[in-house]
Structures are given as structure tokens and as C-alpha cells.
């Protein structure tokens, strides 16, 4: 029942599609094997089990997030860059909820691709925050703050936690403006 042309990248692609459609918790090797038209043991030729698959999915997500957020901020500075990056971050999380959740796990320090992807995502925010004059320890604290604010918002949004009548897009814009003001005064 093996499928010709199946690769580790194709397995992660299919895992991303399942996780984004049905949630990261719904991603199992049995469901993935069925989606790929193979038997579950065949997946072990391409990934080292469910934990390895989730780590690979997280690394892929971190690389994708770094690319979209970095691309959105290119050529912009300070508040304009922050708004563009935040909008791209939110759009990615909403479009790829399972992959986004997988990338929240710390990368395996023994996986150079995962470490590089995580570093790239952090590097995008470090570059963005350098426009505010933040470097070293100040930049690290600011990166953590911005990431926490953005992640908190999209986590509440994706779980349906914003039930009040006010427009969610306006709330997000105000959050980003608040972050910009805070970073500008740091």
C-alpha cells in the first residue's frame, strides 16, 4: 500500500493540511496515513513518530511565519513595520491554526533546521524592533512582550473567545497601536 513519491516533506505537507483543517490535536499517524493512502507503519520511513512529525510541523510553521512576517515588514520602519508584521502574524495564525499551534513548541536543540527556523522568526522581530532603538537585553524583553501580545490575541480569537459586540479587527489595531506607543517610549 506504499505510495510512490512519498517524502518527509510530503508527509509534513499532509500533516499541515490535516492540522489546519481539524486542529493539531486531531493529527494522528493513523489519520495521516489514511489521508496519504498508506498504512500507518509506512510513515515511519519518513518521520520518527507523532512527536517528530509535530516537531517538523512546528519548524515548518516557524520558517513560514518568519517569511510572511519578514516580507510584510520589508521597507517599513517602526509603527508601519510593526503593523504590517502584526497583521501578517495574525493572518498566518488564522489561516494555519494547526501549524501555528505546532510552532509554539520550542525547537529540538538537536535539530538544526528547527533551530534555524525558530531563530529566523525571532530574528525578524529583532530586526523590526531595532527600528525602535532596542538592542541586547531590551530587545529580548520587547520581543517577548510583542510575541506574547500577538499570540495571546490570536489564541483568544481562534478559540472564539471574543464574543462582545465590538469589532475584533479594531481591537487588534488598537493592540498594535498600544504596542507601538510602548515601544516608542522604551
Q: What is the 3-state secondary structure (H, E, C) of 151-169?
A: HHHHHHHHCCCCCCCCCHH
Residue 41 lies in a domain: no
- pLDDT tens digits for range 51-98: 999 999 999 999 999 999 999 999 999 999 999 999 999 999 999 999
Residue 52 lies in a domain: no
pLDDT score for 5: 78
pLDDT band at 107; cut points 50, 70, 90: confident
Examine the pLDDT at 129 and tell me if it is beyond 80: yes
The total of structural domains in the chain comes to: 1
Residue 152 lies in a domain: yes
pLDDT score for 186: 74
Domain extent, residue 102, equals 58-184
Residue 3 lies in a domain: no
Task: Fill in the DSSP letter of residue 76.
Answer: -
Q: What is the CATH number of the domain that holds 120?
A: 1.10.357.10
Examine the pLDDT at 1 and tell me if it is beyond 70: no
Examine the pLDDT at 3 and tell me if it is beyond 80: no
Name which residue leads in pLDDT, 177 or 111. 177
Residue 28 lies in a domain: no
Please tell me the distance from the alpha carbon of residue 118 to that of residue 123, in angstroms, as a whole number.
Answer: 8
Amino acid at each position: 500500500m506504499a505510495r510512490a513519491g512519498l517524502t518527509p516533506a510530503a508527509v509534513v505537507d499532509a500533516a499541515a493540511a490535516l492540522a489546519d483543517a481539524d486542529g493539531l490535536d486531531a493529527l494522528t499517524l493513523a489519520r495521516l496515513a489514511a489521508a496519504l493512502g498508506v498504512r500507518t507503519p509506512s510513515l515511519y520511513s519518513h518521520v520518527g513518530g507523532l512527536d517528530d512529525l509535530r516537531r517538523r510541523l512546528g519548524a515548518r510553521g516557524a520558517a513560514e511565519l518568519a517569511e510572511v512576517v519578514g516580507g510584510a515588514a520589508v521597507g517599513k520602519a517602526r509603527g508601519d513595520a510593526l503593523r504590517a508584521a502584526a497583521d501578517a502574524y495574525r493572518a498566518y495564525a488564522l489561516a494555519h491554526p494547526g501549524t501555528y499551534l505546532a510552532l509554539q513548541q520550542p525547537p529540538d536543540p538537536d535539530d538544526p533546521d528547527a533551530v534555524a527556523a525558530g531563530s529566523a522568526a525571532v530574528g525578524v522581530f529583532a530586526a523590526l524592533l531595532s527600528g525602535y532603538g532596542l538592542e541586547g537585553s531590551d530587545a529580548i524583553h520587547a520581543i517577548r512582550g510583542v510575541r506574547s501580545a500577538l499570540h495571546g490575541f490570536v489564541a483568544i480569537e481562534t478559540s472564539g473567545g471574543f464574543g462582545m459586540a465590538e469589532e475584533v479587527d479594531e481591537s487588534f489595531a488598537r493592540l498594535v497601536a498600544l504596542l507601538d506607543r510602548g515601544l516608542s517610549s522604551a
